[in-house]
Amino acid sequence: MTDIVDDLKWRGLFAQSTDQDALRKALADGPVTFYCGFDPTAASLHVGHLVQVLTVRRLQQAGHRPIALVGGATGQIGDPRPTAERTLNDPETVANWVTRLRAQIEPFLSFEGPNAATMVNNLDWTAGMSAIEFLRDIGKHFRVSKMLAKDSVARRLESDQGISYTEFSYQLLQGMDFLELYRRHGCTLQQGGSDQWGNLTAGLDLIHRLEPGAEVHALATPLMVKADGTKFGKSESGAVWLDPEMTTPYAFYQFWLNVDDRDVSSYMRILSFKSREQLEELEKLTEERPQARAAQRALAEELTTLVHGEEQCAAVIAASKALFGQGELAGLDEATLGASLSELPHAKVAALGSVVDLFVEVGLAPSKSAARRTVKEGGAYVNNVKVADEDAVPAPEDLLHGRWLVLRRGKKNLAAIEVAVG
């Protein structure tokens, strides 16, 4: 077995554990069966979940047996948020989301070999349980004083909204999950984010009460934050999802490409599967030549490949280069080009006008006189072709896939024009 604790610490993936020495020994003696839970509170996982998904993968690669739990039961309740009650989704919606999340998690894990992964749904052991059974068999072993001390519960109790019994009971459900997985699969480690620490230890306490002598552990990873104080996993347009229909592969790639230099080293250690030597070399390049963005490019390529596959990653890299004049725009497929242009300032027009008018329409120039000046100075491009005539009007055959023009002012200011079809 690989001793994984030191590697997790070096990568910044070890926030706290119940007994570090005992956990280190268990992992060294291994294999350890462990689990991580994901609640279907949306139709897709987002990049914040990648910390847990990839840590599960890392532990499996070190020889341990993962259980990925998608919470068909807990997803109907929702872990308490700090400020307000969650909107409860109907069972059919949650069931659909369970299926979608399982499909997103499965490609990251191996389901073959001696440490094959297992996928489970906690609805399997809660659906048939009556409220009386739940209160007698599970609720009896929880102390309200300890439940009230949980950070998210305490904050809600102090707020005007308060907290419902429904969300207050969430930690009982998660605690029962660990007990069931211990009994069904010999699971002895629960992994999760540090904001889940109260729920993680609730499961340990329940097992210790009902299974005397059981040796079980909890491991929490730190929450990722941005150097500027904004929430990790958010872009200007909102959450960055793993579902390509909700966040395009191009936008996903650009999110990582635009990571702040102050954050990229920590993100690489947490999320990349490159060796320590490779990561240290990229960190060195960031310090010496930050303008090259070598670390961001490496991270964007690796994670886009992991989440969306090599073919999609190659397509978005080609699109990214082509938009800035380093490749052929006409060679991009319609879906990739459309996704990349949707991330740019864009305007929809009924018919083609002059380049000057289009520059003003899309906001690349504040006025026609400014647009003419850009053309005159050699800084105006349509589909990466320099515009020399101030009165130039693009021809219909210039439209990419019969719909789009890519406008550029100088080297970096891009925008898109879409001509209405029909």
pLDDT in tens, 186-215: 999 999 999 889 899 999 999 999 999 999
- Per residue in 18-59, pLDDT (tens digit) is 999 999 999 999 899 999 999 999 999 999 999 999 999 999
Question: Binning pLDDT at 50, 70 and 90, where does residue 238 land?
Answer: confident
**Its pTM surpasses 0.85:** yes
As given in the structure block, the two tokens for residue 93 are 């919606």
Pairwise CA distance, residues 54 & 274, whole Å: 13
Determine the pLDDT at residue 1.
45
- Report the alpha-carbon distance of residue 410 to residue 391 in Å, rounded: 19
Q: Cβ atoms within 10 A of the Cβ of 137, count?
A: 14
Query: Among candidates 73, 81, 86, 90, which has minimal Cα distance to 37?
Result: 73
Residue 291 has pLDDT above 70, yes or no: yes
Q: To the nearest whole number, what is the mean pLDDT of the chain? A: 92
CB 325 within 8 A of CB 408: yes
| Residues 340, 323 contacting (CB under 8 angstroms) | yes
**pLDDT tens-digit map of 49-91:** 999 999 999 999 999 999 999 999 999 988 877 777 888 899 9
Q: Alpha-carbon distance 122 to 69, whole Å? A: 7
Nearest residue to 316 via CA among 268, 249, 245, 237: 249
33 within 8 A of 67, measured Cβ to Cβ: yes
Q: Is 5 helix (H, G, I), strand (E, B) or coil?
A: helix
- Cβ(418)–Cβ(403) below 8 Å: yes
Euclidean distance between CA atoms 416 and 29, whole angstroms: 58
Residue 422: predicted pLDDT: 56
Whose tokens are 């209405």? That residue is 420
Contact between 334 and 404 under an 8 Å Cβ cutoff? The reply is no
Task: Find the mean pLDDT for residues 116-143.
Answer: 96
- Which amino acid, one-letter code, is at 264? V
